[in-house]
């Protein structure tokens, strides 16, 4: 069971936060963000490319500026989409709570924050840094695909983090056979990535020769 959707509290905007390495951003990210915007009456969705991800080897991902520019190119046709440099401009690993705190205090009036992430990631939230404060500051949109086991989702949430039940909304997105890893692999093999990512991002990858196997 999920909670009732919070309204615009005292004129406060509803903003979505969508983090990730975006290496590269692809159509799945954009479809998810737009569906969340419409279903949850979000004034905007802010994409937050990771600077130094705490749980990934930053040596294996593209330079932050490449990822920031690709994300900017991908969203520029949608006025409700914004790209933030907050995590990229930090010089140390940034956690979800740091980003949520930043946006909670950065706007006036204080916004209703909706954090958009995959359902499987939500099931691990009790391991996240300062997760209890995170639950207080934001509502979560758990993204699933058709066929995802909702029974497993609810059972795991109840077992590990029952206080989160009232802070989660489920958002089902049609299955898209695309991922950043898939795109990187196709580029390395010299295969087309047309329509897997917006055309400006495709052209940027070609121009900067990203993801190609180095001889």
Residue 161 falls within a domain, yes or no? yes
Interval 57-84: pLDDT, tens: 666 899 999 999 999 999 999 999 999 9
Which structure tokens are listed for 135?
A: 């639950």
User: How many folded domains does the chain comprise?
Assistant: 1
Residue 160 falls within a domain, yes or no? yes
Give residue 215's pLDDT: 59
Residue 210 falls within a domain, yes or no? no
Give residue 3's pLDDT: 44
Residue 206 falls within a domain, yes or no? no
Residue 181 falls within a domain, yes or no? no
Helix boundaries (H) for 107-179: 119-122, 131-137, 150-160
Mean pLDDT of 121-141: 92
> Domain containing 102: what range?
12-174
Which structure tokens are listed for 145?
A: 């695909």
The CATH number assigned to the domain holding 170 equals 3.40.50.620
Residue 77 falls within a domain, yes or no? yes
With 0.85 as the threshold, say if the pTM is over it. yes
Q: Among 124, 63, 118, which residue's Cα sits nearest to residue 88?
A: 63
Mean pLDDT of 203-207: 98
Which structure tokens are listed for 175?
A: 């299955």
């Amino acid at each position: 069971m999920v909670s009732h959707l919070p309204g615009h509290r005292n004129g406060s905007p509803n903003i979505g936060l969508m983090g990730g390495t975006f290496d590269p951003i692809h159509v799945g990210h954009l479809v998810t963000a737009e569906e969340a915007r419409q279903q949850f009456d979000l004034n905007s969705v802010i994409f937050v490319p990771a600077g130094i991800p705490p749980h990934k080897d930053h040596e294996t991902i593209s330079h932050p500026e490449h990822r920031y520019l690709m994300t900017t190119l991908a969203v520029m046709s949608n006025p409700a989409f914004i790209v933030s440099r907050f995590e990229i401009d930090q010089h140390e690993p940034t956690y979800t709570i740091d980003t949520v705190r930043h946006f909670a205090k950065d706007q006036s009036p204080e916004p209703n924050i909706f954090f958009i992430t995959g359902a499987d990631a939500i099931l691990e939230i009790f391991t996240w840094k300062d997760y209890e404060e995170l639950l207080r500051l934001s509502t979560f949109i758990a993204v699933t695909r058709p066929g995802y086991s909702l029974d497993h989702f609810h059972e795991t949430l109840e077992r590990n983090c029952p206080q989160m039940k009232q802070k989660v909304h489920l958002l089902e997105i049609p299955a898209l056979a695309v991922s950043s890893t898939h795109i990187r692999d196709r580029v390395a093999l010299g295969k087309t990535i047309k329509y897997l990512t917006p055309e400006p991002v495709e052209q940027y990858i070609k121009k900067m020769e990203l993801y190609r196997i180095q001889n």
